[in-house]
Amino acid sequence: MDNSSFHTSAAISEKVSEWRSKNLEIFHLPKYSPQLNLIEILWRFMKYQWIEWWAYKGWPYLVRYIENVVCNYGTKYEINFS
C-alpha cells in the first residue's frame, strides 16, 4: 500500500493481524517509489518515448494525444519490460 492517510489509519492497522492469519501480507511502499506505481511508468513512456510533436501545440492537442494513447494502448502503444 502507499502511504495515504487511509492506508495508515487505525482501521487498517487493526486488520493487519487478521489478514496475516489468512496468509495475506500487507506492506507499505517507500514514500517515493514511482518505479512501483504502474501509472508513473505509463506516463514516463508517454512523455519521453511516444509523444508526437503536435501534442505540444496546445491543450486540446495534448488531450487528444493522451486519449489516443489510452485508446490504443496494447495495440499501437505497448510497454515491453524485457
For residue 50, name the pLDDT band (cuts at 50, 70, 90).
Answer: very high
Q: Taking residues 26-55, what's their average pLDDT?
A: 83
Q: pTM for the complete prediction?
A: 0.55
Residue 34 has pLDDT above 90, yes or no: no
Domain extents for the chain?
Answer: 1-32, 33-82
Mean pLDDT of the chain: 85
Place of cell 518515448: 49
For residue 38, name the pLDDT band (cuts at 50, 70, 90).
Answer: confident
Report the alpha-carbon angle 13-19-22, nearest 5.
165
Residue 8: which residues within 8 A CB-CB, separation 6 or more? 28
pLDDT value of residue 41: 84
Report residue 53 CA to chain centroid gap. 24
Higher pLDDT, 23 or 32: 23
